[in-house]
Amino acid sequence: MKLSAYAKSLAASLMLAPLGAASVVASPVADFYKGKTVTVLVGFTTGNGSDSYARLVARWYSKYLPGAPTVVVQNMPGSGSMTMTNFLYNVAPKDGTTFGIFNRNVPLEPLMGNTNARFDPRKFTWLGSTNAEPSLCVSWHGSPVRSIKDLQEREFTVAATGINANSGLVPTVLNRVMGTKIKVIMGYPGSNEMSLAMERGEVEGRCGWSRSSLMTTKPTWVSEGKISLLLQAGLQKSPLMPDVPLAIDNVRDEADRQLLKLAVAWDEMAWPFAAPPGVPADRAQALRAAFAAVLKDPELAVQARREGLDLNLVPPEHIERILEEVYATPEPIVAKMKDIVRAK
């Protein structure tokens, strides 16, 4: 994705933002939302990054949505947020009263031929993402692993929820394209349990862990030296972590680079919010405008800093481009990824 295109789509979304904030006069959208309840679904249990972002957005969302409806958060965990994603696409009301946040990797599942993924991610009504950020591989202080070189020379155990989540997919693909020796222990319910597994010594670390989630749930682990940041797995380095190496910079083979890109492109939409397909156009525009306006709210920005949450709007147009490009990936690369996923 070219930066200029990203900038244009960001500007377009920000231009819409005042519309939501200023819509205090009577309008069909305001009339519809007045007195209603808007539900924000979260595909995970409480206490992880997705839940934190959902509650942050929900707290200010009514301020910018015409009609000032009540906004509530509902957790719907299961299968790495697949349960909620299927519900959002197939069952949730398509009238603009429901939207949700799910795992960034879930949109990959239909491409992988997962029959449990009963949705087409290109048809969601995308609101945007609260930011873009590469995920991390980290090691606990008791592990001798401190670098990419160490990952390539000795076995390193990490906790994961499943192969369809960053925690499982990223280390598995790194083994394929970088020759790392990461042993992935799957089946943990969520982020809190994976962190606890490190503390207990069940595993040596985690991969596919977003910086926001790390700083929200374990804000002192880096400063106290409890973990080492081994690598970033994304398309580009985070400016907040300039000294942490980028995995793709260590991959030379073009086919392997394409495979890794397929696994980590989702970090460009790190915390994705979407409504069901088929939301009426005027309400979809209002939902998007409110989302963009919320992320510019100065009070929300203060609260986000307190919670260690990074904010940098990724517009819905950018997410739609990511999906189109990913779903146009050459079939041989897709086949390789399918083999990786099926093997687990």
- Return the H-helix or E-strand segment holding 137: strand 135-140
pLDDT in tens, the chain (344 residues): 444 455 555 555 544 444 444 444 569 999 999 999 999 999 998 988 899 999 999 999 999 999 999 999 999 998 889 999 999 999 999 999 999 999 888 998 999 999 999 999 999 999 999 999 889 999 999 999 999 999 999 999 999 988 878 899 999 999 999 999 999 999 998 889 999 999 999 999 999 998 888 988 899 999 999 999 999 998 889 888 999 999 999 999 999 999 999 999 989 999 999 999 999 999 999 999 999 999 999 999 999 999 888 899 999 999 999 999 999 999 999 999 999 888 76
Contacts of 296 (CB under 8 A, 6+ apart): 14, 17, 313
The pLDDT score that the predictor gives to residue 20 is 44
CA-CA distances (angstroms) from residue 287 to 31, 100, 303?
A: 14, 12, 22
Contacts of 144 (CB under 8 A, 6+ apart): 150, 154
The pLDDT score that the predictor gives to residue 3 is 46
Domains and CATH numbers, the chain: 3-131+271-342 (3.40.190.150), 135-265 (3.40.190.10)
List pLDDT tens digits, range 231-273.
999 888 988 899 999 999 999 999 999 999 999 998 999 999 9
Task: Give the tokens for residue 119.
Answer: 């949705």
> Do 100 and 41 form a contact (C-beta atoms < 8 A)?
yes
The pLDDT score that the predictor gives to residue 239 is 87
Q: Which alpha helices (DSSP H) does the chain contain, by range?
A: 3-22, 28-33, 49-64, 82-90, 148-153, 166-178, 191-200, 211-217, 254-264, 281-294, 298-307, 316-326, 331-342
The pLDDT score that the predictor gives to residue 23 is 41
- Beta bridge partners of residue 125, listed in sequence order: 275
The pLDDT score that the predictor gives to residue 7 is 52
The pLDDT score that the predictor gives to residue 26 is 65
Average pLDDT, the chain: 91
For residue 123, the tally of other CB atoms under 10 A from its CB is 13
- Return the H-helix or E-strand segment holding 227: strand 227-233
| pTM (2 d.p.) | 0.78
The pLDDT score that the predictor gives to residue 240 is 87
Q: Which of 312, 273, 316, 340 is nearest to 38 (CA)?
A: 273
